């Protein structure tokens, strides 16, 4: 399972931070940061989701009010 985070879209509401600890607050930027992620396009970050974090990652994606977080399973978007 993979996660894609559009940091440009993020408005720093930090619901995702409460759902998965891979998301961290960047108070200075008013944005979340996704730990251990690779920047695949300007301000777009991706990483693998560990098996034991899949539920948390999905909750993080669902909690985002601006749909900045997407979850993919074998290339298909699931959240
Ligand atoms: S929930 Fe969405 S808008 Fe809020 S910090 Fe996380 S990614 Fe950004």
- Residue 6 beta carbon below 6 angstroms from any ligand 1 atom: no
pLDDT (0 to 100) of residue 40: 98
For residue 32, give the CATH number of its domain: 3.30.70.20
Locate the ligand 1 atom nearest the alpha carbon of residue 69 and give its number. Answer: 7
- Residue 16 beta carbon below 6 angstroms from any ligand 1 atom: yes
- Residue 45 beta carbon below 6 angstroms from any ligand 1 atom: no
Locate the ligand 1 atom nearest the alpha carbon of residue 17 and give its number. Answer: 6
pLDDT digits (tens, 9 = 90+) for 17-64: 999 999 999 999 999 999 999 999 999 999 999 999 999 999 999 999
pLDDT (0 to 100) of residue 28: 97
Give me the domain span that covers residue 65. 2-77
Domain count for the chain: 1
pLDDT digits (tens, 9 = 90+) for 47-58: 999 999 999 999
1: confidence class by pLDDT, cuts 50, 70, 90: very high
Single pTM value for the model: 0.97
Strands of the sheet containing 76-77, edge to edge, are 38-41, 44-48, 2-6, 69-73, 76-77
């Amino acid at each position: 399972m993979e996660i894609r985070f559009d940091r440009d879209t993020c408005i720093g509401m930090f619901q995702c931070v409460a759902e998965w600890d891979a998301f961290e607050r960047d108070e200075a930027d008013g944005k979340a940061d996704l730990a251990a992620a690779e920047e695949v396009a300007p301000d777009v970050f991706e990483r693998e989701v560990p098996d034991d974090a899949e539920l948390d990652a999905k909750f993080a994606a669902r909690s985002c009010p601006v749909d900045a977080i997407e979850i993919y399973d074998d290339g298909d978007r699931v959240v």
